């Protein structure tokens, strides 16, 4: 195994991979490890019994390990979907970022680590022609099941460096709010807007638990100040602006 990126510091091959099933890479998915240490995460990602892996692991000090060649299908996404694609493992490159996550107290991502993530993402996206709108959180592609890399992950900082899409979130303010159990045309429009961005959910005008999970996933990435699964004015306006930006071809 040879490194795909000149930014790789070391190789730590994982046996957990397969072929891409004839599909081309078009997405980049970011995760946190959610374990007590990076060493424990690396051991799990390389354990043949674990059934999980990733292409890259970024340590707190910015070191980058490669586990699976980009040409192969790593097992990082699980049951997931985006923009009509239900086999995200086959079309994506997965980066695990060492962080203990929500259960570990939501520690901040160190500047050296984020700098390394930015450069690695820029390199991967350039070599694989991944558009900015396809740089995603694990929580985006598996709402309700995954919540990483978390609402404190600095997506705005990445976007300022050319990685992923971002608009300044609309301010939280008084106004109408849609919740689970609501029904009607406003809910239908919300679901259509979420689906247009790439989220998988039914469009039926019913604010179900699934819709709530998807709204929370959107907030966790793009309206991070309040993640509650309720579609307030801030959420719907930020979603509208994100769709406009994504439609521009970014």
Instruction: Catalogue all structural domains in the chain, each as residue range(s) with its CATH number.
Output: 10-160 (3.40.80.10), 185-247 (1.10.101.10)
Residue-level pLDDT at 139 = 98
Tokens of 58: 């970024």
Residue-level pLDDT at 61 = 98
pTM of model > 0.85: yes
Q: What is the mean pLDDT of each run of 10 residues along the chain (250 residues)?
A: 97 98 97 98 98 98 98 97 97 98 98 98 98 97 98 98 98 94 97 98 97 98 98 98 90
Residue-level pLDDT at 126 = 98
Residue-level pLDDT at 249 = 74
Beta-ladder partners of 224: none
Catalytic residue among 96, 119, 151, 212: 96
R_g of the chain, CA atoms, integer Å = 18
Catalytic site residue 96? yes
The C-alpha atoms of residue 84 and residue 199 are separated, in whole angstroms, by 8
């Amino acid at each position: 195994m040879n490194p795909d990126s000149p930014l790789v510091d070391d190789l730590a091959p994982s046996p957990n991979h397969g072929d891409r099933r004839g599909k081309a890479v078009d997405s980049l998915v970011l995760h946190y490890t959610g374990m007590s240490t990076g060493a424990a995460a690396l051991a799990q990602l390389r354990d043949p019994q674990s059934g999980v892996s990733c292409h890259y692991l970024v340590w707190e000090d910015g070191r980058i390990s490669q586990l699976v060649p980009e040409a192969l299908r790593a097992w990082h996404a699980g049951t997931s979907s985006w923009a009509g694609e239900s086999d995200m493992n086959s079309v994506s490159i997965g980066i695990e970022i060492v962080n203990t996550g929500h259960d570990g107290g939501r520690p901040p991502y160190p500047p050296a680590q984020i700098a390394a993530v930015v450069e690695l993402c820029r390199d991967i996206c350039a070599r694989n022609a991944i558009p900015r709108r396809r740089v995603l959180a694990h929580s985006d592609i598996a709402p309700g099941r995954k919540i990483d890399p978390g609402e404190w992950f600095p997506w705005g900082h990445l976007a300022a460096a050319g990685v992923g899409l971002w608009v300044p979130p609309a301010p939280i303010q008084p106004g109408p709010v849609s919740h689970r159990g609501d029904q009607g045309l406003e809910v239908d429009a919300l679901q259509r807007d979420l689906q247009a961005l790439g989220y998988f959910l039914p469009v039926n005008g019913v604010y179900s638990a699934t819709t709530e999970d998807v709204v929370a996933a959107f907030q966790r990435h793009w309206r991070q100040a309040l993640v509650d699964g309720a579609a307030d004015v801030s959420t719907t306006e930020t979603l509208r602006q994100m769709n406009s930006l994504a439609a521009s071809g970014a």
